[in-house]
């Protein structure tokens, strides 16, 4: 691509989103770091600028469609285009099915599922409007395929992300816009660390290659590779970035 790309990363204040933001910037792309947490999001931007990259922070509440639409509009206002939309923002949805905190249940659905839908719609419309053959990458999870106790709402959202990615890819293909889901496994992020006292982390380590949690930087590498023109054949797919978690027993 001759023109410098613009990548919008939601959940860019920490974890996978921060590392994806750093990865794209290090490769020469301009990055819009989007998050609800302004201080931590600005910290990601400062890290990028310290390394000589170009980035801006935009506060977003992905549970609100108008906020996501404003994010995409702001990215185009700042940099003139949008080539990559990484719908990554997410929260954990803990709690056994019969003991659901319904406020947390709805919050999880609104952020993890609706937030991705809003991102697909807003970025897809803008890419079509601008005639950009971009790529929309959605953070799914092995928990979109595999069940585990105590994460009822989270499973629901990640399963939805997978099917939304497939459906959107089918409809956006005529415009040259790709849609891909990346499914991490046991990644060392604040969400996973929230389960450290339950014994769940030990179980996860036993199911991955090397016996250690995946680092966010490794997932970021996968997201970046999927975004490249050389990955043009990948759309409507779920790319596993799980170190074998979904395959190992």
- Whether the CB-CB separation of 25 and 15 falls below 8 Å is answered with no
Give burial (CB, 10 Å; 0-12/13-18/19+) of 52.
exposed
Distance of CA 88 to the CA centre of its chain: 2
> Has 175 been annotated as catalytic?
no
Count other C-beta atoms under 10 Å from residue 132's C-beta: 22
Tokens of 231: 């990955």
DSSP E strand boundaries for 25-160: 30-35, 55-59, 84-87, 135-139
| Owner of token pair 């290090």 | 26
**Rounded Cα distance, 165 and 84, in Å:** 14
Active-site option among 118, 154, 224, 245: 154
SS3 231: helix
**Rounded Cα distance, 89 and 202, in Å:** 25
| Owner of token pair 């319904």 | 102
SS3 234: coil
Q: Annotated catalytic sites, by residue?
A: 154
């Amino acid at each position: 691509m001759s023109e410098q790309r613009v990548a919008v990363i939601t959940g860019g204040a920490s974890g996978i989103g921060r590392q994806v933001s750093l990865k794209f910037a290090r490769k020469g792309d301009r990055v819009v770091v989007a998050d609800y947490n302004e201080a931590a999001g600005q910290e990601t931007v400062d890290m990028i600028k310290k390394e000589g990259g170009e980035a801006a922070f935009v506060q977003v509440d992905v549970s609100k469609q108008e906020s996501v639409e404003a994010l995409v509009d702001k990215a185009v206002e700042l940099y003139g285009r949008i080539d990559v939309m990484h719908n990554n923002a997410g929260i954990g949805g803990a709690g056994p099915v019969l003991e659901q905190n319904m406020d947390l249940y709805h919050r999880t659905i609104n952020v993890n599922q609706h937030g991705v839908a809003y991102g697909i719609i807003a970025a897809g419309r803008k890419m079509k409007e601008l005639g950009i053959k971009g790529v929309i990458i959605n953070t799914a999870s092995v928990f979109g395929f595999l069940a585990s106790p105590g994460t009822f709402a989270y499973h629901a959202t990640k399963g939805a992300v997978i099917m939304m990615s497939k459906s959107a890819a089918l409809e956006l293909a005529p415009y040259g816009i790709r849609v891909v889901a990346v499914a991490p496994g046991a990644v060392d992020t604040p969400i996973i660390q929230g389960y450290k006292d339950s014994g769940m982390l030990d179980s996860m380590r036993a199911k991955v290659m090397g016996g250690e949690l995946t680092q966010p930087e490794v997932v970021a590498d996968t997201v970046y590779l999927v975004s490249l023109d050389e990955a043009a054949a990948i759309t409507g797919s779920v790319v596993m970035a799980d170190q074998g978690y979904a395959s190992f027993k």
